Amino acid sequence: MYRESSCAAPARSAEVALIGLSPAIRELRDKIDRIASNQSPVLILGETGTGKEVVARKVHERSGLKKFVPIDCSVLVGPLMESELFGYMRGAFTGADTNRTGLLEEAHLGTAFFDEIGELPLSLQAKLLRVLQEKEFRPVGSTVSRYVESRVVAATNRNLSEEVRRGRFRQDLFFRLNVITLRIPPLRERREDIPVLAAYFLDKHAGGLRFSPPVEEALLRYDWPGNVRELENTIHRMSAVSTGRDLGIQDLPSSVLHTVFPPRHEAAMLSSASSPDLAPESRNEGIMPLAEVERHAILNALSVTRGDRTTAAQLLGIGRTTLYRKLKSYGVGDAV
Ligand SMILES: Nc1ncnc2c1ncn2[C@@H]1O[C@H](COP(=O)(O)OP(=O)(O)OP(=O)(O)O)[C@@H](O)[C@H]1O
Ligand SMILES: [Mg+2]
């Protein structure tokens, strides 16, 4: 399942890798191709880490425009925000000892990527709207307007209609930006993409390493609240600390491991408090002999792994031979 496919293969260095086999990603790639040469604004929506910037770069790549200029709206705050965006003339304010080109002008004949557009302060939203309508702006301290022509691509993980309703985002700007909408579903809603993305990231960060089958299963079953970014970071970290050729479940971060294979030891121990093979006094005090705790831990691990002894041993942090020896001593050597 994690074998290379044409989509998992690393893209040519110049090409933006928008990896995925799910219908949602296939449709997204098709839509990007269809709208590439269109000059209308594009609004990219998706949870954090779903690949909004990757999609923005793909739109730019397909459009054949000159330059891709990322404009991080979450940092456009404070007194310098306007000059960052529009540039300024020498002497416009204290410290402005040369003319400076703003981000908008840099994006002339290219793509202006307004990242985190939902964070743009209302005062700048009004100014941006004017630029989008008039294709003109004035650098701070200038009396002359400049013409700018760029493809506007914006992205946000916020619900912009809701922001409009709450008066935090201008409705007119929202309508202006929301001409072509590209939605990227969260990774948990397109699990088919996990294997192909995981293979891609493993190759990128640790060529030569492989996932063991339980790791493949864990990656597939985990919900990835941080989406593709969390998947990539997890694989990067796992490959950095792994010592073998195979990434085993012991290499998984505990967040993933415990969500996918929940530690049911406590539950097993609690339920066994009423087990008939325990002495009544230990039942009363909720204390079990250590050997009994161990036996329950081992049987629980085998039930979680559905009898897979190698994985159970890994989960328990003991060797396979030790596991076999212990099972034999419980008289369940061949029974599980
Ligand atoms: N479909 C994909 N193919 C290949 N890499 C991807 C894909 N989606 C996301 N990534 C990778 O995941 C990471 C996060 O992607 P990106 O920065 O585009 O997400 P984002 O939606 O902009 O996140 P945020 O909301 O946090 O800004 C990046 O390293 C990116 O290369
Ligand atoms: Mg981003």
pLDDT digits (tens, 9 = 90+) for 6-43: 334 444 456 999 999 999 999 999 999 999 998 899 99
The pLDDT score that the predictor gives to residue 7 is 39
* Residue located nearest, by CA, to atom 8 of ligand 1: 51
Residue to mutate, 13, 28, 53, ligand 1, most ligand atoms under 8 Å from C-beta = 53
Q: How many CB atoms lie within 10 A of CB 285?
A: 9
Residue 79 pLDDT exceeds 50: yes
CA distance linking residue 262 with residue 304, whole number of Å: 8
Q: Is the CB of 71 under 6 A from ligand 1?
A: no
Q: How confident is the model at residue 224 (pLDDT cuts 50, 70, 90)?
A: very high
Give the pair of three-digit tokens for residue 104: 């908008």
Contacts of 163 (CB under 8 A, 6+ apart): 118, 169, 174
Q: Report domain 187-257's class.
A: mainly alpha
Listed ranges 124-133, 136-145, 226-235; the one with the highest mean pLDDT = 226-235
Following DSSP, what letter does each residue of 303-316 receive, concatenated? HHTTT-HHHHHHHH
* CATH for the 23-184 domain, from 3.90.550.10, 3.90.76.10, 3.40.630.30, 3.40.50.300: 3.40.50.300
Structural tokens at position 155: 């992205």
Rounded average pLDDT over 311-319: 85
Domain segments of the chain as ranges: 23-184, 187-257, 262-336
User: Are 187-257 and 262-336 equal in CATH topology?
Assistant: no
Cβ 20 under 6 angstroms from ligand 1:
yes
Q: How far is the CA of 55 from the centre of ligand 2 (A)?
A: 10
CATH number among 1.10.10, 3.30.410, 1.20.120, 1.10.150, domain 262-336: 1.10.10
* 159, pLDDT greater than 60: yes
